[in-house]
Chains A and B, each alone.
Chain A
Amino acid sequence: MQSESMQLCIQTRNLNLWYGQFQALKDVNIDVRHGLITSLIGPSGCGKTTLLRCFNRINERFSYVRTKGEIKVLGKNIYDPDVSLIELRKSVGMVFQRPNPVPISVYENIVFGLRIHNRFGVFQKNQLDEIVEKSLIEVGLWKDLKDRLKVKATSLQLEQQQKLCIARLLPLKPEVILMDEPCSALDVEGTRAIEDLMYNLRGHYTIVIVTHNMAQARRTSDECIFMLLGEKIEHDRTENLFLNPRDPRTAEYIEGRYG
């Protein structure tokens, strides 16, 4: 029992969330396993992005959002009063739908997180250079960008920008990477590159990805959660969910009868 719960990375218990009067999440209980890729699927407005944004409490910057229930990340309830949002977001990074590199150089984008989480002068120049190289190698950008580290990140191609957004998280050694439709702004090539990258990151990080693309969920994820109207309908290993859905609503959705 102990060893099994250690393998769980994110657990929610009776998670409810309201935007003003509208209830976006209804008693959501999910267990995301450590080191795997878990995809959240469901039709638009089913609450999957909302759920994703709960995991690093980024929903809270809107004052009309109310949350009830419990979210445990690595065994700690992130709504406990002694949880520091800064430390939480350092461990739980997010990749957004549209690549959003900060409009500074590629190099500075990658060391940005390190700079804000450490006192001035903790890192030597060569240490930073090493970290930048390592992060870029990890996301497969090093070969393309090693001579262009000083260019503005916003001038890169979209696919490179999105990879950079992922690389930006890595120096902080996050436990969880949340991805909110990371490929929806990319073309086929870019999508494949990001998917390959996810595959390479698998095992080192727990990845939760929201996607509208069922083929993508099927290709990339180990486990799959289907949501509908703010509720979790089904959670299973991806091949089981797609081949033998237990709930008829899941079956209808993956067969494309609504979406």
Chain B
Amino acid sequence: MADAIDPATRFAKTDFVIRKERIQAISKALFLIMVVIMIIPLLSIIAYLVYHAMPSLNWEFLIEAPKKGMSEGGIWPAFVGTLYLVVISLAIAAPIGVFAAIYLNEYAKENWFNRIIHLAVINLAGVPSIVHALFGLGAFVYAAQFGYSIISASLTLAIMTLPVIIASTREALASVPASFREACWNVGATRWQTIRAIVLPNSISGILTGIILQVSRAAGETAPIMFTGAVFYKAVARGELFPYYLNEQCMALSMHLYTISTQVPNVKESIPYATAVVLLCSVLVVNASAIALRVWLRNHKKW
């Protein structure tokens, strides 16, 4: 049987193989085209924004306050306001979310109650931000009597980001193999020692990614802060570092972008674009530092 075929033509392509390879090439090309289709709008959005923003893009624009009824000048108050909101909301949401996720994933028993919580969290993560905004208005502005303020807006943002942080943290924790935990328990480690020594170091990069992604979301959302604490205009000196008290309202980039592009007449054309670029770049910087941090943590697994 083996010597019936001339060795020189053994394993040669048959017609059917050629046909299969053609189909294979076509499908590969199809997927590649989809990648290109995905990339083109992304790049063109960025290019379009930067091109139109060019005249205003400079250091002055960032640290200058708006002038002439916001039709000229910079965006400093809005930039700082966004920083306030993001930092405070994450300072609230990240610890609560991560610790709650640790409890749910590591301590809680797998029963119907846990499953319902899980389901509720997943569903909350999908609730539109305007709904969170209304809740924030009712709960923090009126019921808790924080008024229209940074603290109300931050709490609203925290409520909005919390479910996503819980869900992504749980996912990161669940991706740590159960055998690691068993190895720990079998030398007599407590749950907390196991979490501290094995589970967290191996899931920290996933946890951080989940949190960082919420930075971009908190920075970009307009509705929740519009209802609870962001304001149209606030007089702030050029480059002032701590312009707001927590019980005051503040400006924010996303809100500012909305106002100057729809509400304010005769705005210099490049200013809305430049505002968008600043918002985009801040998010980019945050994400890039998150990636850097993850790489660093991965190289220093022991901590």
Contact = CB atoms under 8 A, between A and B. Distances in A.
Interface string B11-28: 111101100110000000
Contacts of B10: 73-76, 91
Contacts of B16: 117-119
B2 A87 contact: no
Contacts, number: 43
A108 interface: no
Contacts of A76: 7-8, 10-11
Contact of B12 (A75, A87, A175): A87
28 contacts: A6-B2, A6-B3, A9-B2, A34-B2, A73-B11, A74-B2, A74-B7, A74-B10, A75-B8, A75-B10, A76-B7, A76-B10, A78-B11, A82-B13, A83-B11, A84-B12, A84-B13, A84-B14, A86-B13, A86-B17, A86-B20, A87-B11, A87-B12, A87-B14, A87-B17, A88-B11, A118-B16, A119-B16
Q: 9 tightest A-B contacts by CB? A: A75-B7, A76-B10, A84-B13, A87-B11, A83-B11, A88-B11, A76-B7, A84-B17, A86-B17
User: Is the contact region of chain B dominated by helix, strand, or loop, or is it mixed?
Assistant: helix
Contacts of B12: 82-84, 87
B18 to A, nearest CB: 9
A119 B13 CA distance: 15
Contacts of A83: 11-12
B11 A91 contact: yes
Contacts of A82: 12-13
Contacts of B3: 6
B262 to A, nearest CB: 51
Interface of A: 6, 9, 34, 73-76, 78, 82-84, 86-88, 91, 117-119, 175
Contact of B11 (A9, A84, A117, A118): A84
A255 B3 CA distance: 40
Nearest to B16: A119
Contacts of B20: 86
Interface in B1-59: 2-3, 5, 7-8, 10-14, 16-17, 20-21
Interface string B232-276: 000000000000000000000000000000000000000000000
Contacts of A84: 11-14, 17
Contacts of A6: 2-3
Contacts of B11: 73, 76, 78, 83-84, 87-88, 91
Contacts of B2: 6, 9, 34, 74, 175
A7 to B, nearest CB: 9
Contacts of B13: 82, 84, 86-87
Contacts of A78: 11
B4 to A, nearest CB: 11
Interface in B50-71: none
Nearest to B20: A86
A83 B11 CA distance: 5
A236 to B, nearest CB: 23
A191 B166 CA distance: 47
A96 B28 CA distance: 28
A88 to B, nearest CB: 5
Nearest to B5: A74
Contacts of A9: 2
Nearest to A116: B20
A200 B12 CA distance: 30
Contacts of B8: 75-76
Contacts of A117: 16
A75 B3 CA distance: 10
A74 B2 CA distance: 7
A86 B22 CA distance: 13
B294 to A, nearest CB: 24
A86 B11 CA distance: 8
Contacts of B7: 74-76
Nearest to A90: B11
Interface centre among A6, A75, A119 (most CB of B within 10 A): A75
